[in-house]
Amino acid sequence: MAKKKMVYFCKECGYESGKWMGQCPSCKVWDSFVEEPVVKTSSSTSNAIINEPQILNSIETSQDMRISSGIGELDRVLGGGIVPGSLVLVGGDPGIGKSTLLLQMCRELSNVNRKVLYISGEESQKQIKIRADRLGEFTGELLLLCETNVQLIEDSVHKYKPEIVIIDSIQTIFSDGSSSAPGSVSQVRESTSALMKLAKGHGVTIFIIGHVTKEGVVAGPRVLEHMVDTVLYFEGDNYASYRILRAVKNRYGSTNEIGVFEMQNKGLIEVANPSEYMLKGKPEGEPGSIVVPSMEGTRPILVEVQALVCRTNFNMPRRTAAGTDYNRVNLLMAVLEKRLGIQLSDCDSYVNVAGGMKINEPALDLAILMAIYSSHKNKAIDDNTIVFGEVGLTGEVRAVNMAEQRIKEAEKMGFKRCIIPIGNLSMLSKESTVKSKNMELIGVKNIRELIQKYM
Ligand code: TYD
Ligand code: MG
């Protein structure tokens, strides 16, 4: 009997290799290779649909072809609604709320009499019903199916002809064409390609849920990112109740959009005003706290940056950065020491972006710097002031993008004064777009000027 040929796959990104490797050369993740048998996929065309070429201009499209999912934040991330016949991957850590989000979408869709089929390989129909009861009333006829065999799923789709299908976790689905275990790289790929044919051939929209896995031999959703039209990731903090839905890839829209939700005991609630949400509980008149408008894609969100600087009791001062880049914070502290002569080498410093957001954009620099300075000098920054700008190594304050949106958001939230890079100020006054009576705009050239004049 011929020996079964084995290959190694990276379970993170699907990289294929003839031998085992400690680190994946493609995605640089360690210890991610798993051994799987080689599968010969039959390339039979017997049940394939034969396509005819068409003249580009004769193909009809229209924006109203999109279906609203009934959840505004989800529509926004999808680029304005669900595109019929598209394949959407929703990834995220286990327990983050993927099933809940899609079940809520099913509720909205079936309530307006759309035909939706929810296929779960993880939970029984009873379990789904229990979850559904928490979410509220389902007036429409939502179809539930517990199935893991992709061929049988195809049969059900042919039989019931739904417009929208949800596959709850691709890692539980298997195809007869592959002999490896469900959740393995080749199974996940094989099943997804079967689903892709179903979506493209029959115009069914398919949402695939994929767990991001930290350990074990289950393939992660990155393995199929290239096969689907849209990739959404659902992220959040284990300790915070808000969740962010982010588009990583979108053939039908921008990847800049995010949706913000809050997990409550009746499911996910849309957060229409994330800035207000993030600034809840901000202290007033306390040193070491400042608000900064950060951009999440095209959307400005105000967040509070906090710093605590105190004398160290160790030989090596302790420094931490939560929600932002640790190295960036160290760099900014070095700039403060060198350019303003502030002694920080004997200080512990803790920087935190309140609310649990993770922000790495350079526009945060000025806020981090001011928060550190404010805490070190024990001098509070005016509560009505916001600040943004990138800080260079010589202490210069550099312009950042989308200044206007940032200022508008701050104005909306009632802030009165905005310290911005001089570069941005001159650009704004040239275009003279922001002419507001409620907001005082101050341009700064470098951090020395900032500290001398405004702190
Ligand atoms: P779930 O959608 O099952 O996560 P996933 O499919 O991504 O694994 O969400 C599970 C979590 O959400 C669970 O910890 C309970 C919580 N939850 C609520 O807090 N409120 C609710 O109304 C529901 C349905 C779930
Ligand atoms: Mg789930």
**Which residues of the chain carry a pLDDT beneath 50?**
44-46
Is residue 379 packed enough to be buried (19+ CB in 10 Å), middle (13-18) or exposed (0-12)?
exposed
Over the stretch 274-329, which tens digit does the pLDDT of each residue have? Answer: 888 888 888 999 999 999 999 987 788 999 999 999 999 988 999 999 999 999 99
Residue 220 Cβ < 6 Å to ligand 1: no
Measured distance CA(329)–CA(446) in Å, rounded: 17
What pTM, to 2 d.p., does this model score? 0.80
Q: Give strand pairing partners of 10.
A: 33
Measured distance CA(119)–CA(138) in Å, rounded: 17
One-letter amino acid identity for 82? I
Token pair of 409 as six digits: 């958001």
Q: What is the DSSP annotation of 316-338?
A: S--EEEESS-HHHHHHHHHHHHH
Residue 94 Cβ < 6 Å to ligand 1: yes
pLDDT the model gives residue 240: 74
> What Cα–Cα distance (Å) separates residue 51 from each residue in 54, 200, 227?
9, 11, 19
Look at residues 169, 165, 106, 167 and name the one whose alpha carbon lies nearest to residue 135: 106
pLDDT the model gives residue 293: 95
Pure H helices in 168-218: 185-202
* Cα 134 to averaged position of ligand 2 atoms, centre (Å): 15
Residue 134 Cβ < 6 Å to ligand 1: yes
Measured distance CA(254)–CA(221) in Å, rounded: 20
Bin 267: left if φ > 0, else alpha if -120 < ψ < 50, else beta: left
pLDDT the model gives residue 1: 52
Measured distance CA(248)–CA(425) in Å, rounded: 32
Nearest atom in ligand 1 to the alpha carbon of residue 266 is 22
| Cβ–Cβ under 8 Å, residues 101 and 244 | no
pLDDT the model gives residue 45: 47
Task: Name the closest-CA residue to atom 11, ligand 1.
Answer: 95
Q: How far apart are the first and last CA of the chain?
A: 80
Q: Which of 232, 263, 264, 266 to mutate to test the pocket of ligand 1 (most atoms within 8 A of CB)?
A: 263
